[in-house]
Chain A
């Protein structure tokens, strides 16, 4: 058996090879860095590839030699462009923050640095994490490594493409409505959105604050788990972070009860995606897990409620960007002109659309019909999921309705929004969810990966890792 090239390794494989002294931290960095440099002109996964941090590489190597290094020590990672690394630009793929240099480290970055991880660069995304394809980036689209005429998904499309094309060992993304899981599914890797509050949002450029979570994108479930346990934990800088046992514990068992909401799978899903999903379930059943039909009647309203709550939070969060203290600044005749000119020049079309929508649903006269109603729908949804988890350990659906779509195929905003239909519920309920590759389907004689998504009760990430590993074993 030949070893994979260093940049093709998983975190587990690289950590083992580093400890066995088969490769050095420098060799691992160089392999990832040169793969990134080589493939980026084609894929545009990175907005910026960093130069080697010699001190960090050397110190990681020393820790590995010393024998007590964490698994992420010396591992080169890609970071989504909305996560702050002190002294580096964090633009959220927006002209508004094109030249904004982070003045502090995000808590996740601080934790990764402490673990000895290395940063390869900042990855492309939809502007301010709004989109499902990277087509809303102000700096060009990222291409799907499996078929360059197709999107990598989004908004963390750059991170997903970087990992799938072995331009990084793993990556971080952020997930407000599916932005880690959907690109993971469309590029054939694993992606997880943790329980709301499990991972600190300090230093993540805010989109929808009640929905946002930072999550790992990696080549295996085991790698996702390693990153998750490194970046999670309570943080005084994010008052929404939760203690380890806030919710009642859900033990992971050898054989799990898998809830399948088949009533949600009757329309919209492409046939071969559904077939692949059913085959995967069947194999899981043969492996000893139990399938149980469940009903989640309010799920049909989840996306509508999401498109009220999310823009409301977006318009509030992005109000701070007005050309005054940092970011793009345009000078007009009056102070009001300064605001309006800076914001109109700095924000892209989708961002403007969601700011308008958010301003509308929060305006007096509409707030009850939209925002308050959506908040109630969210509560009903949360109860429905909690009730379902009385009888099942996880809930399974395909992560997306179809494999990666072509650039320009979803130019109508609502068509793009529907891309999130299966992923947003986890953000609405705050529950953790993982997307794991379940196989591939063929389009234009190219094999395109598709993913299966599992949702678990709050803080039951370990159950997700168990079922995710079970799916990996089927392949």
Chain B
């Protein structure tokens, strides 16, 4: 059984907030889903190795790139806040 504290902790990890009035509902739904998913316990996969696909290089070779600034305007337009084509974010290192 998941507790409301555990759900709060997961929410904090996932950078979301579950409002207090919704917490109980979320916790009980979470439990119901885990109970369903828990069926997997009954499945015996002891003979199975986890399959890793054979590795191959999927990276493209270096080649001509986009011209500098070709997409800047389009992308900056999507920034919530920008200054001189740079993304504005909060200061996270304090000077004091």
Residues of A within 8 A of B (CB): 100-101, 103-104, 236, 239, 298, 300-301, 303-305, 307-308, 315, 319, 322-327, 329, 334-336, 338-341, 343-344, 347, 352-353, 355-361, 363, 369-370, 372-377, 379-380, 412-414, 417
Contact = CB atoms under 8 A, between A and B. Distances in A.
B40 A413 contact: no
Contacts of B34: 357, 360
Given A356-B18, A357-B34, A413-B33, 17 more contacts: A300-B39, A304-B36, A304-B38, A307-B33, A315-B14, A323-B80, A325-B78, A326-B79, A335-B89, A335-B90, A336-B15, A356-B16, A361-B37, A373-B40, A376-B48, A379-B50, A414-B36
B84 interface: no
6 residue pairs, one from A and one from B, having the closest CB atoms:
A329-B80, A239-B58, A326-B78, A376-B45, A103-B74, A359-B14
Given A326-B79, A334-B90, A417 B29 contact: no
A379 B87 contact: no
A298 B13 contact: no
Contacts of A327: 78
A356 B74 contact: no
Interface of B: 7, 10-11, 13-18, 26, 29-30, 32-34, 36-43, 45, 48-51, 58-60, 71, 74-75, 77-81, 87, 89-90, 92
A413 B29 contact: yes
A377 B40 contact: yes
B33 A322 contact: no
B45 A339 contact: no
Contacts of A379: 48, 50-51
Given A315-B14, A324-B80, A347-B16, A353 B26 contact: yes
Contacts of B92: 335
B36 A417 contact: yes
B80 to A, nearest CB: 3
Contacts of A305: 40
Nearest to A374: B40
B40 A372 contact: no
Contact of B87 (A300, A308, A324): A324
Contacts of B43: 298, 301, 373, 377, 380
Given A324-B87, A379-B51, A353 B36 contact: no
A301 B30 CA distance: 19
B75 A357 contact: no
B37 A370 contact: yes
Nearest to B2: A360
**Most chain B CB inside 10 Å of its own CB: which residue of A315, A338, A357, A361:** A357
Contacts of A358: 14
A414 B16 contact: no
13 contacts: A307-B37, A308-B37, A315-B14, A325-B80, A343-B16, A352-B16, A352-B18, A353-B30, A356-B7, A359-B10, A373-B43, A373-B45, A374-B40
Contacts of A361: 37
Contact of A343 (B15, B32, B37): B15
Contact of A380 (B38, B45, B87): B45
A344 B16 contact: yes
B40 to A, nearest CB: 5
Contacts of A104: 71
Contacts of A326: 78-80
A410 B16 CA distance: 25
Contacts of A341: 17
